[in-house]
Chains A and B, each alone.
Chain A
Amino acid sequence: MLTKLTGGRVYDPTHGVDGEVRDIYIRDGRIVEHPADGKIGKEIDIRGKVVMAGAIDMHTHIGGGKINIARTMLPEDHAADVVARTELMRSGCGHAAPSTLTAGYRYAEMGYTAGFEPAILPANARQAHMEMHDTPIIDKGGYAMLGSDDFLLRMMAANEDQEAINNYVAWTITHSQAIGLKVVNPGGINAFKFNQRKLDLDEKNQYYGVTPREILLRLARAVNELGVPHPLHVHGCNLGVPGNMNTTLDTIQGIDGLPMHMTHIQFHSYGTEGDFKFSSGAAEIAEAINKHKNITVDVGQILFGQTVTASGDNMRQFAGSPHSHPNKWVCMDIECDAGCGVVPFKYKDQSYVNALQWMIGLETFLMVDDPWRIFLTTDHPNGAPFTSYPHLIRLLMDKTFRNDVLSTLHPEAQKASHLASLDREYSLYEMAIMTRAGAAKLVGLADRGHLGVGAAADITVYTDDVDREKMFSKPDYVFKDGNMVVKHGDLIDVTWGTTHVVKPEYDNSIEDSLKPYFDRYHTQKMGNFKISDDEIVDDGRGSLTVQPLHKGGAL
């Protein structure tokens, strides 16, 4: 059946469409041309409404071991937001670490149609996919994590050539069913196992003699040469440490012009000026981003209230554990592969540091010029739960509202920021870039994030409202693969999205060294470590979508 969405104001930055009134036609889950025979099965009048592709969260911790530790650890947080079963929906819970089912419903209700788990430890990838399999409606996928795994560090210590590393990276992405590659505190999680407590960009891992800078270069080159569209996804060194802005600037410089995505940049933009020895480095960081076109960032905005931080960076999470609120936390070393740390945290608006973190995030949003290279995230749930996105959107689109909130925060922090003088307000077009077109391009989703003919019919329709929080909280309609899943803000259908992956080519000879490595040192066989396509399809509800690679892969 052909469905026509009539007369909406369309924001489709992929095609340069900025608020033009257009009709959209949907058939078999795809956006199609105006039908030659003019036959319309169903028409929905959306005149005056705002139309965008479904939103894409390119960095959200929705599945895997650490977020499940967070769930299990925080019964008191769920208790305030339990969700009852309905005819349509399973019961569950929300807030900081929501149940998978509730997470899927709530993303859809906000007009989001895809979310990407940014930290899939290969050793734990099976679990990440199990949880994402149980996350309804939205599409999903994730970035495999390397950089503190002993196999890579052994290769680097042995000075193996780039092609061997490319093979290993491609093998890892393929068999953990990922769409990109992530590195977290490069080499630092490994160094922590040798009792190193910090690892600067040029500091050597004491066992391997390898530095974070070298790891970043090797991995960024691998991703680029393999033709994986998503640039190396980097959670840098020294997260949260005052003065880390210099590390971040060095990291940008040090990547030799290779594509690199720096995630939750807010947590890496701190200076040491002022009485509190904690200041904003957002201006310098934004300037560097503006200058280096190979760099993309997402912000990792913090918002005030209780949340939980869940990270692969157990070195930094251990350091932050004295700040846990409530006072309980977990750190783990994992499988000669990586680690994790889960620390509940409450951001307080009357804390100088937290207030300034809020300002640093917003300064970054407002000072980075190119909305195609900056993305809207709270690093869910680390800065705030994803359900606070509509509030964040309002902060970005409404200067008066932003400054009203700003004026209530810790007074010394207000003095330390020039946020109040920043006049920029994001437009709907820019918002569509940041949360749709740009995000799809960054993740490497050829058929999502836009409304061109042939695209998947993931579409969100809003009622324009000067209160952007209200507008983005409850879309009028959300279509997922052509099915209307949300109507007037309420979920009316539950579908199951696909899992997006890439399958870079590699030389299988890498298994000649991996198999004996698993046999000698691991507690699992290499073959059982791999996640088959069948596991993603699982009971039939799941599916795999292989996204195209960039041309020019070296192999």
Chain B
Amino acid sequence: MTEMTESGIWQEVSSPFCGIASDDLMIKVEGNSVSVLENGDAITKKGFETPITDTSPRIQGEEVSLQQAVSHVAELLRSSKQPVIAGMATDLNGARAAMALADKSRATVDSMFSKATFRNTLVLQDTGWMTTTLTEVRNRVDLLLVVGSDIESAFPRFYERMVWNKESMFGQDIESREVIYLGKSPSGDASTSPKGKKARLIACDDTNLPEVVSVLRALVKGRSIQAEQVGGISVTDLSELAEQLKQAKYSVVCWSGSQLDFDHAEVVIQNVCEMVKELNANTRSSGLYLGGKDGDTTVNAVSSWQSGYPMRTDFNRGYPNYDPYLNNVEQMLAKDEVDTLLWVSSFDVDKTPPKSAATTVVLGRSGMTFEQEPEVFIPVGTPGIDHEGRTFRCDSSVAVPLRKLRNSGLPSTFEVLTAVEQAL
């Protein structure tokens, strides 16, 4: 359990920043200063160590009390014709409060990660998938196929924790695990085995992935392919890969929605997922989508159980209305369809609201700076540092508890949004 073992030293701390919710961090807290002593990586260190600067809310740049800020936000929402609650980088209770407020203020909700997340969501809602979770990967994977993603740049500890762990529960020789990249090449050596076996690379550009994945799926299904090359890859290489997938006992096909960053990448993901289903006719294979940082999985889960729908849902007419296209807040802001934007970003000081003409309220992590001062800025605590919370991992099955590590006095997103709801 996350706990303070000696003065200022916390053990087994979970990270809400990394998407895989590593919970073996050792953290030192002195006053308001936090440092990751063990098991940190670039993403986690930045997440925990970003210093506190502002502690006072501001209206038009002038310091005000929290109560004044809350009343002003309530007034803005009350007079808004198209309010939007976006960003949505928060924890369980922050998401609950945001949904309650959206319901009451007839707002539209969307997350800053939706562009990537909806590449997966659209597949789930159209054809579904077979997936697995991190502990299964750690113990069972014999072939990891990475599609169009450079895992380690975004998930630095994925290989250490899930692939090159010391041992598997089932006596597998860890060194025998195969890693194959299809598309992008890895940016470092995380995918190289402890004894130095490098991942195999079958490279192609993102733009060729739709075609390459289609052909791979066809080969897995035993279809014959006339072409000798596809997307710069020889069909022989793809046939060999198809054969490896069929021979593997527990292959895992992995991707990151944010790295498949091209139009209609959902079609590639869909082909991957259908291929995985088809592999399961004879052997076992599973998909694994990486993502879920900064509360992304959490807010989609909460939105689904409270409204029936994930992000990109509006309450304009008093009931939930889901539209993954019209309720894309990035587009709505670009088209000037929003008059009031409430941006929640409690994890990362760099995740500021997109530029827009909307009157903007930011519930942001302390230390956030703005090109253009928002109408209201309320510095809020970071879940798992300034207050307790819970967050889901990318695999959406496991949620981890987050502990309060310091007494910064910063309010939680839950507290602020609940106060706004009550003031409405």
A residues sitting closer than 8 Å to B (CB atoms) are 63, 65, 68-69, 71-75, 78-79, 82-85, 90-93, 97-101, 121, 123-124, 126-127, 130-131, 134, 150, 154, 192-195, 207, 318, 321, 324, 327-337, 342, 520-528, 530, 532, 535, 538-539
Contact = CB atoms under 8 A, between A and B. Distances in A.
A520 B310 CA distance: 35
A-B pairs, top 3 by smallest CB distance, nearest first, are A527-B1, A93-B308, A78-B308
A523 B161 contact: yes
A527 B2 CA distance: 7
A522 B392 CA distance: 16
Interface in B57-115: 92-93, 96, 100, 103-104
Given A91-B103, A92-B320, A520-B167, A193 B305 contact: no
Given A72-B124, A324-B128, 13 more contacts: A72-B309, A85-B315, A91-B307, A91-B320, A99-B320, A121-B397, A130-B92, A130-B302, A328-B127, A330-B128, A332-B132, A521-B169, A525-B1
A195 B283 contact: yes
Contacts of B12: 525, 527-528
Contacts of B189: none
B411 to A, nearest CB: 14
A349 B226 CA distance: 47
Contact of A333 (B3, B100, B136, B320): B136
B125 interface: yes
Nearest to A517: B169
A99 B139 CA distance: 35
A208 B1 CA distance: 30
**Most A CB within 10 A of own CB, among B3, B96, B131, B399:** B399
B48 interface: no
A192 B283 CA distance: 10
B264 to A, nearest CB: 18
A303 B12 CA distance: 48
B398 interface: yes
Contacts of A192: 284
A399 to B, nearest CB: 38
Contacts of A72: 121, 124-125, 300, 304, 309-310
Q: SS class of chain B's interface: helix, strand, loop or mixed?
A: mixed
B396 interface: yes
Contacts of B321: 82
A475 B300 CA distance: 35
A343 B392 CA distance: 23
A532 to B, nearest CB: 7
B398 to A, nearest CB: 6
A84 B315 CA distance: 9
Contacts, number: 201
Contacts of B301: 68, 127
Contact of B318 (A84, A126, A532): A84
B126 interface: yes
17 contacts: A63-B305, A71-B308, A72-B121, A74-B125, A75-B125, A78-B308, A91-B103, A100-B305, A126-B399, A130-B399, A193-B250, A328-B124, A330-B130, A336-B139, A521-B138, A523-B138, A532-B401
Given A90-B103, A539-B93, A99 B306 contact: yes
A176 to B, nearest CB: 13
Contact of A528 (B23, B124, B161, B305): B23
A73 B401 contact: no
Contact of A327 (B121, B127, B307): B127
Interface string B203-241: 000000000000000000000000000000000000000
A332 B121 contact: no
Interface secondary structure of A, over-half rule: mixed
B280 A318 contact: yes
B380 interface: no
Given A85-B104, A333-B286, A195 B308 contact: no
A333 B93 contact: no
Contacts of B400: 126, 524, 528
B390 A130 contact: yes
Contacts of B133: 123, 332-335
B20 interface: yes
B128, B249, B284, B317, most chain A CB atoms within 10 A = B128
B181 interface: no
A423 to B, nearest CB: 42
Contacts of A527: 1-3, 12
B146 interface: no
Contacts of B305: 63, 68, 71, 99-100, 130-131, 134
A193 B92 contact: no
Interface in B281-319: 283-284, 286, 300-302, 304-310, 315, 317-319
B129 interface: yes
Interface string B374-392: 0000000000000000101
Contacts of B153: none
B308 A92 contact: yes
A127 B297 CA distance: 12
Contacts of B246: none
Interface in B133-183: 133-136, 138-140, 161-162, 166-170
B49 interface: no
Nearest to B100: A90
A192 B20 CA distance: 25
A272 B334 CA distance: 62
Nearest to B388: A534
A74 B96 CA distance: 21
A91 B319 contact: yes
Contacts of B396: 65
Contacts of A334: 132-133, 136, 397
Nearest to B399: A126
A346 to B, nearest CB: 16
Given A90-B306, A130-B92, A73 B3 contact: no
A101 B306 CA distance: 6
Chain B CB count within 10 A is highest, among A72, A84, A97, for: A72
B14 interface: yes
A528 B14 contact: yes
A176 B318 CA distance: 36
A542 to B, nearest CB: 12
Interface hub of A69, A92, A528 (most chain B Cβ within 10 A)? A528
A535 B128 contact: no
Contacts of A99: 305-308, 320
Given A332-B131, A528-B12, A92 B306 contact: yes
Contacts of B23: 524-525, 528
Given A71-B304, A85-B315, A150-B169, A333 B124 contact: no
B164 to A, nearest CB: 13
Contacts of A521: 135, 138-139, 167-169
A528 to B, nearest CB: 5
A510 to B, nearest CB: 16
A329 B127 CA distance: 6
A472 to B, nearest CB: 25
B24 interface: yes
